[in-house]
Amino acid sequence: MEALFEPAASQPAVTAAPPPARFNFAAHLFQLNEARAAKTAYIDDSGHTTYGELEERARRFASALRTLGVHPEERVLLVMLDTVALPIAILGALYAGVVPVVANTLLTPDDYVYMLTHSHARAVIASNALVPNVRQALDTAEHDGCQLIVSNRASQASEGEPLSSPVFEDLIDAAAPAAKPAASGCDDIAFWLYSSGSTGKPKGTVHTHANLYWTAELYAKPVLGIVESDVVFSAAKLFFAYGLGNALTFPLSVGATAVLMAERPAADAVFARLTHHRPTVFYGVPTLYASMLVSPNLPAREDVAMRVCTSAGEALPREIGERFTRHFGCEILDGIGSTEMLHIFLSNRAGAVEYGTTGRPVPGYEVELRDESGHAVSDGEVGDLYIKGPSAALMYWSNREKSRATFLGEWIRSGDKYCRLPNGCYVYAGRSDDMLKVSGQYVSPVEVEMVLVQHDAVLEAAVVGVDHGGLVKTRAFVVLKREFPASEILVDELKAFVKDRLAPHKYPRDIVFVDDLPKTATGKIQRFKLREQS
C-alpha cells in the first residue's frame, strides 16, 4: 500500500489505510468488536462490562439523547469519574452525532461555569459525587435550559438532588438502542477536550471522528504493540487526551480489556489495580512513577504483569525510568503528545529506550524545530517544536486569536522547546513561555529540574524565573523525600550538585523546600502558579 506521508530516511513508511469519508468512530468500534460480544471490555470498581453490553448501552444512550431533545452537533458536557458510564456516554454521544465535551473532574464551580457558557452545552452529565459543584455552576451560569443528568445515583433523594434530575442509568434502561449511527464524516466534529490549563485559561480543542482512528493506527498498534489479549490500565484519566486514548480508543480498537479507577491515582490505589487485575500495559505520568518508586508498598516484580509502560505529560527523568526498569524489568516508553494532537507523536520504542529523551517521531507524524524567525535549527540547538500529522485538532472553539497562533496550515506550533541529538532522539527543554534568560543566556527550567531530581534527597523539583532587582534569577521549588529534612546545608549541597553538572549560570540562586508542587489534574507542573508565589 502506498504511504500516506513521505517518510524521513530513518522512519518506515506509514501503511495504515485512511478511514472512509463517511465515518462514525463509535460505529467503527462496534463493528470491529461484533465477534467479541461476550468478552470483557471494561473492569471498573463495580464490575465487568462486556463488549456487547457496552455497545447496547451506548446505542441506548444515543436514543436517550434524541428523546431529551439534544441534536447532532450540539454539545453535552461530561463531568464524570472513570467508571464504565463515561465510555458509554462518550460512545453514545458520538453514535448520535452529538459532541461530548469531556471535562476535568477536579475543577471548581467557576471553572464549570466557564465551560458551560463557552460550550453552550445542552446537557451536562455528572457523576453523583460531582453533582454539588455542577449544580452550583448551573445555578450561576447563563444557559438556555441546560439539563442536569446524574450518573450513579442509587436514590435521587439520598443526596438532596431534586427529583426532576434524570438519572443517566435510568435513561439508558428506558431507551431502545438507536438503529443506526448519525451520518458523520471522518472530518466532522466529534468531541472536544479542554486544554489542561498549565499556562492559564483552558481552551476548547475541537477534534474529528478520524482523529481518534489515527492515534490508534499510528501509535497504539505499531509503537505500543497493543493486541486483543492485553489488559490495560491508565492512571491518567479519560478527560485527559492521553487517558482518552489509553483507556478508550486504544483498547477498543483491538478488542483488549481496560481497567478503570474512579479514585485519584495515588500510589497505593495504583498498586491495588496492578496486582489484582495484573494489566499488561500501564500508562502513567512522571510524578506518579516517582511516588511509586519511593513508596514502602512498592510491589515486587513477580506480583505484576506489566510488559510495557508509557509516560507523558512531563518529561520523564532518566533516573526514574532506569530505577523503574531495574525493579520491574519493564521499560517506560516516554513520549510527548498534546491536547491539540490528541496523543503521542514523539516516543521512545520498546527495546530501544533512551531514558532522558522523548525518543523519535512516531511514523506518520513530522516534526520540525524552528528558531524565532521560523528557520530550522541544527542538531544540538534548542528550537520551537512544530508538528504535522492526521490527528491534529481543527481549532480552539470560539478563540480565533489562539487558533491562528497555534494552527498554522498543516502544522501545529506546540509551545514546547526541544533539541535533537545527532542520533535523532529529541530532548525536552521546556515550554516556550517558561524559558529563562539568565546573564544573557537561555536556561531551560526542565534541564535544571532533571539534574535536581538525580540527587538522593529530591523527589520533585520545579524551576522558575524571579525578578532580582530587574534581573532574572532562577528559583527552584523542591519536594524532598520523606527521610531527608530541609536544611541550609542541603540548600548549599543542591546548588553545588547542579553547578557540578551544568554550566555555572544555570544553577538555582534560590531553593525553596515545599510539601508539594501545583499541578494540573494531568500531572503537569503549573509553573505560572509558582511564579505568582515568588
Tell which residue, 138, 48, 43, 123, has the closest CA to residue 89.
123
pLDDT for 4: 34
Residue that the C-alpha cell 443506526 belongs to: 180
Grid cell for residue 395: 481549532
**What are the b/e assignments for 449-482, b being 16+ CB within 10 Å?**
bbbbbebebbbbbbbbbbeeeeeebbbbbbbbee
pLDDT for 524: 75
Query: In the chain, helix, strand, coil percent, each to 5?
Result: 35, 25, 40
Q: Going by DSSP bridges, is the β-strand pair 47-50/40-44 parallel, antiparallel, or unpaired?
A: antiparallel
Residue that the C-alpha cell 501545529 belongs to: 412
> In this structure, how many other beta carbons lie within 10 angstroms of the beta carbon of residue 296?
7
pLDDT for 531: 85
Task: Give percent above pLDDT 90 in the chain.
Answer: 80
Determine contact, residues 247/234, Cβ cutoff 8 Å.
yes
pLDDT for 46: 94
Domains of the chain: 23-34+46-184 (3.40.50.12780), 434-533 (3.30.300.30)
Residue 199 has pLDDT above 90, yes or no: no
Grid cell for residue 249: 480508543
pLDDT in tens, 429-446: 887 777 786 766 668 888
Average pLDDT of the chain, as a whole number: 91
Confidence of residue 15 (pLDDT cuts 50, 70, 90): low
Task: For residue 82, give the H/E element and its range.
Answer: none
Give the separation between CA 460 and CA 521, rounded to whole angstroms: 16
Grid cell for residue 199: 499556562
pLDDT for 11: 43
pLDDT for 153: 56
Confidence of residue 8 (pLDDT cuts 50, 70, 90): very low
Instruction: Concatenate the DSSP letters of all residues of 459-504 into one string.
Output: EEEEEEEEEETTEEEEEEEEEEPTT----HHHHHHHHHHHHTTS-G
Confidence of residue 48 (pLDDT cuts 50, 70, 90): very high
> In this structure, how many other beta carbons lie within 10 angstroms of the beta carbon of residue 445?
26
Residue 96 has pLDDT above 90, yes or no: yes
Put simply, whether the predicted model's pTM sits higher than 0.75 gets the answer yes
pLDDT in tens, 274-285: 999 999 999 999
How far from 331 is each of 18, 134, 290, 423, 495, CA to CA, in Å?
Answer: 31, 40, 15, 20, 31
